[in-house]
Each structure stands twice: as C-alpha cells, then as structure tokens.
Amino acid sequence: MTFLNSMNRRQMLLGSSALFGGLAMPAIVRGQGVTNIRLAHHLALESEQDIAANFFAQRVSELSGGAVAAQVLPAGQMGGQREIVESVALGTLEMGYGESGLYASYLPRFSVVALPYIYRDFEHWQSVVTGDLGKTLAGELEQASGMRVMNWMTSGRRSTYLRNRAINEPSDFRGVKVRLPEAPVFVRTFSQLGAIPTPIPATEMYSALQSGVVDAMEGSPEVAYTFRIHEVTQYCSMTRHIFLDGSFVANNSFLAGLSDANREAVEQAAAEAGDKLRSEHLAREEGWLEKLAEAGLTINEPNLEAFTSQLGSLQDSFAQESGSMDLLTAIREQA
C-alpha cells in the first residue's frame, strides 16, 4: 500500500477531523460577514507545516473574533507545491505553502536563498530570512507576482535517502536517479554532482522509490518519516546539501480586499505560526532522525567538505545569472 493510499484510508476511518492535525479547527461559518480562507500545502498530516497551518487557523479565528475562518487543505489535496503556488498567484486560492525554489519562477533572485551549502547553521539562515534581506526579497516577490510572503518557516537541511547504497563522496552520486522538487537550484545541484535529477511530486515519491523509477530522494528527516520513505530505502546519507526555507504565501489582491482588522489578524496569525515553527524546528528534526534510525534506516555522515568544494562554483553562477551577487555577498557576510 502506498503512503497516499494509507493516508486516504486513515482519513476515511477517522473522519474529517483527521485533516486538521492536533489542533482544533474552527468551524467555517458561511453566514454573512465571515471571511473564509483556504490554506493549502502538499505535506503530510502532522508535519511541521501542517501543525503551523492549523495553528494559524486557530489563531486567526481568535484574533478576528470569528470574523475570519481558515480551512486547511493538507497532503496535496490542491495539487503539488508548484500547483499550489501558481493557484495563489492566480488568485484561485487564498493562501498556500511555498518555498524559494518556486518563488524563483517569478523572481529569479529568490533562488539564492536556497543555494547549496550557503549557510553556516540554523542561526545564520534565520538571521538572513527574518532580517532585512528577507524583507527585501519578500517585497520584490510581491511586486513581481502579486503574492505576499506572510512568514518564514523551514523544513531544515535536506539529506539523501537511497534504496541500495550510501553516499560518502560526491562521486558516489554519479548515475544515481534522485527524486527532487521542480526547482532549478535542486536540478542543477544534483546535475553538478553527477546524479540524474528526476522531478516528481511529493505524493508520488514513495511509489517511485518502491518501483525503482528512482534510486533515491532528497528531503528533510521529517518528510522522509511522514511519507514513510524508510519503508522503501535502506540508507540516509546526511549530505545536508540545502537549508530550505518555506513560508505561507497569500494572494495580495485577496489581502487588499480584507478590512484592516481582518488583514491584521491574518498577518499576526501567520507571523506567530512562523515563529512557532522556527522555535520548535531543531528539536523536531532531532526527533525525526531518531525515528528513522529506530525504523531501521542506516544513517551515515559523508565528507561534506568535498561536497562544499564541488558545489561552491554553483553559488556564484546562480547569483550572477540572476543579477544577485549583492545578495550572495550579503548572506556570506552574515555568516
């Protein structure tokens, strides 16, 4: 049984309340004067992002006195992450969960935020995205796409999960088919390592690994566990290649149509959801790694200096192509 089928079965057994994680979902009132928000994401139930989405739904109801009701649509109900972000940009969806690799389709400079091995640690990443650099990029994206970044979240450093063998050196990637997101920075990162990048929606990666369509996938420990990747792989090589951001993004025309009080409630609830996720992330990440080890996955530590050396030129080429050397320099200086 695939993860997606297992999830659907679970939803049928538990009823609609299972869609909303551990936090109570406020009732969506259809009466006059209530603003309804659909917030979609592509990740699993009870993932960090799902918990943050339900926290947002609870808080926006509280802060607005019930005038705003948010419905969380998890686990790819509204399509993959690319489809979700495109729907928000078009205005057919009020809010969604996106990340820099997809925002780069509207603002190429955004790709610099997720370059491989660009951050010293979590604190370095957080200082960049929540500071002036993050605010500047968010403002530029709003002008380019009509979407507003509502907060800053993360899925953490991404590593590689493989069916048949571990990765220790960059050369071990040669010829390996790796499932990854539909974002240029990921495709070019693994191409430069000699792998065969294979973009596949998150909801299909379990079956792709199970059937041998791909040899590996890359992602966070949480995604690996909640999508049950440990059932179809044997190794987790801690390549920690990209520290990926994430954010709730809203259609700007939708926000502009809200009353001042309701817009402030949405903004505050989203900001609090981002703060909550970031403050709990490192402890959660460690917990997911422990679960993967308990599930029988062999975890190894590759030679990261070799990876950093091989991918260093990619940082400069990406920044030059998008006219973002100023941004790259500023990120490096904050290290």
| Domain at 259, CATH number | 3.40.190.170
Q: Are residues 70 and 30 in the same domain?
A: yes
Q: How confident is the model at residue 30, as a pLDDT?
A: 38
In total, how many domains does the chain have? 2
Q: Are residues 303 and 262 in the same domain?
A: no
Q: Are residues 111 and 126 in the same domain?
A: yes
**Residue 321: inside a domain:** yes
Q: Are residues 52 and 139 in the same domain?
A: yes
Q: Are residues 273 and 145 in the same domain?
A: yes
Q: How confident is the model at residue 32, as a pLDDT?
A: 57
Q: Are residues 253 and 326 in the same domain?
A: no
Q: Give this prediction's pTM.
A: 0.85
Q: Are residues 211 and 325 in the same domain?
A: yes
Going residue by residue through the chain (335 aa), what tens digit of pLDDT does each one get? 333 343 343 333 333 333 333 333 333 333 458 999 999 999 989 899 999 999 999 999 999 999 999 999 999 999 989 999 999 999 999 999 999 989 999 999 999 999 999 999 999 999 999 999 999 999 999 999 999 999 999 988 999 999 999 999 999 999 999 999 888 889 999 999 999 999 998 889 999 999 999 999 999 999 999 899 999 999 999 999 999 999 999 999 999 999 999 999 999 999 999 999 999 999 999 999 999 999 999 999 999 999 999 999 999 999 999 999 999 999 999 98
Q: Are residues 119 and 263 in the same domain?
A: yes
Q: Are residues 256 and 294 in the same domain?
A: no
**Residue 238: inside a domain:** yes
**Residue 23: inside a domain:** yes
- Determine the straight-line distance between the first and last CA of the chain, rounded to whole angstroms: 45
Residues counted in the chain: 335
Q: Are residues 210 and 271 in the same domain?
A: no
What is the extent of the structural domain holding 306?
A: 157-242+290-333
